[in-house]
Chains A and B, each alone.
Chain A
């Protein structure tokens, strides 16, 4: 089965979802991301969904899960690039992403992650 690549940039992991994922692919991604956070001691996870034409309840749940798991593992997850039509549809679907931080694009996402890590260090 097709695998979504997970790239490492410094202390961050970068995932760019470029294909329409079926449910099992999404579960695999969630599992391998969790493993990689632990393996690499990653402090941030950036998920680029700019290529996704829809986000349904399953992918929404996956994003929520990844955000909660990364929090437990002391990493910050930021989702970037959600298309406007996807955002509008998500709201009408009733899907909330309470624990998921979002940013407009990859650059801003990385900045947000950096800021969150630094804030965390101050409060530690």
Chain B
């Protein structure tokens, strides 16, 4: 997988989530994602960013334009040094929340992208990676 472009910034407050949505939208448009696919990847990124702030105590996000065998995609990686996810299976279940949310962020974001990966170490932090490929 080749990286064509990369941009990293912190996600610590609500305004950072708004900025992230704008950046992801711009890259999604740049690689020619359909309107529905743009909306899906922006929504997924927004959900994970909110988790980074609410549960991960803030962290960093990296947005990349990537390509592999001629196919382009938008890749977004979130990393925090928060408490980590204790029960990954539960966390990825619709409706599971420890923070009074709807419990749809992780499971829903996973459905909205083509590739989704969560790596978490209790006491150390969480890294969530998502990719939406141009169809």
Q: Take A22-B18, A23-B50 as given contacts and tell me if A93 and B39 are in contact as well, using a CB distance cutoff of 8 Å.
A: no
Decide if B46 is an interface residue (CB 8 Å cutoff): yes
Q: Looking at A20, A24, A57, A86, which has the most chain B CB atoms within 10 Å of its CB?
A: A57
CA distance A67 to B110 in the complex (A): 28
Interface size class of A (residues with CB under 8 A): 20 to 34
Stretch at the interface among B73-81, B84-92, B98-106, B115-123: B98-106
Extra contacts, 14 of them, besides A20-B21, A58-B50, A93-B112 (Cβ < 8 A), are A22-B14, A23-B50, A53-B42, A54-B21, A54-B46, A56-B105, A57-B101, A57-B105, A84-B36, A85-B38, A92-B112, A93-B111, A95-B102, A95-B104
Decide if B35 is an interface residue (CB 8 Å cutoff): yes
Interface residues of B (CB under 8 A from A): 13-15, 17-18, 21-22, 25, 35-36, 38-40, 42-43, 46-47, 50, 94, 101-102, 104-105, 107-109, 111-112
Cβ–Cβ < 8 Å partners of B94 in chain A:
94
